[in-house]
Each structure stands twice: as C-alpha cells, then as structure tokens.
Amino acid sequence: MILDGANIKHQTKLANTSTTTAALTVSQLLVFNRVKHARSVESTLVRHNRERETPLPLYLSLKIHAVTRSRGLIDTLFSLGMCVSYDRLLQPTADIANGVCQRFNMEKSCLPTQAAQGTVHYWGCR
C-alpha cells in the first residue's frame, strides 16, 4: 500500500518483481530504524539495535566499502538510516579474517582456494 496506493484493484493483481523488491527494501529499512523508546529531543546519536539488524543495511555498507572504500559515504548513509556504521561494517570482515586464520592454525597448513583436491601439495603457514 505504501508503494502502490490504497486502490484495492492494484492489491489484488500479482505483484511484479520490482515492486516486491522495493517493498522488501522499505520494510527492512523500517525494521532497522525502529526504536524501542522515543529518543530525547537533544539526543543526536543514532543507535541501532543489532538484534533488529536486517541484511540490507549490512549488505549496502559492504557493497559501498568494496567499491569506494569511502568511510565518509558510509557514515553519511548511516546518519540517514540506510546502512550500518563504518565501525559495525568492520566487525564481520574482521570475524571472517580471524576465522580463516584460526582454521589455518588448527590445520597447520594452507591450500589455495582455487586448487582442486589432490592436485597441489600443502604448504606450511606461519
């Protein structure tokens, strides 16, 4: 109804993919920006609850960071409520890197990801 209006004829037709995608995007941003309690008037700090963090804001931050590496752009979109903060963006990337290091340390070896099993010898990692 937000996207197509209150006309009942439009609601009974099958939704096309672009409308569905737009509706999902809007709904994820609404959930991401919802607050439990009203903020005080003098508070300018934007806080998002990680429990209600939807995939879109994190994906958008990761995508922008991969293409531009611009902290300023991510911070601007964060202040508009469209993506997660730059500091929050760094958490999953650090978690992935730490997980890879732990796996290599646990196995005491590393293998190039593009190598097929049994075709390349293992190298020791340090």
The tens-digit pLDDT sequence of the chain (126 residues) is 667 667 666 555 555 666 788 888 998 999 898 877 766 666 556 667 777 789 999 999 999 999 999 999 999 999 999 999 999 999 988 998 899 888 888 877 666 555 555 554 444 444
What pTM value is reported for the model? 0.64
Q: DSSP label at 110?
A: B
Cα–Cα dist 63/47, whole Å: 21
Q: Tell me if 84 sits within 8 A of 59, measured CB to CB.
A: no
- Model pLDDT, residue 104: 82
Q: Tell me if 86 sits within 8 A of 71, measured CB to CB.
A: yes
Strands (E), 58-111: none
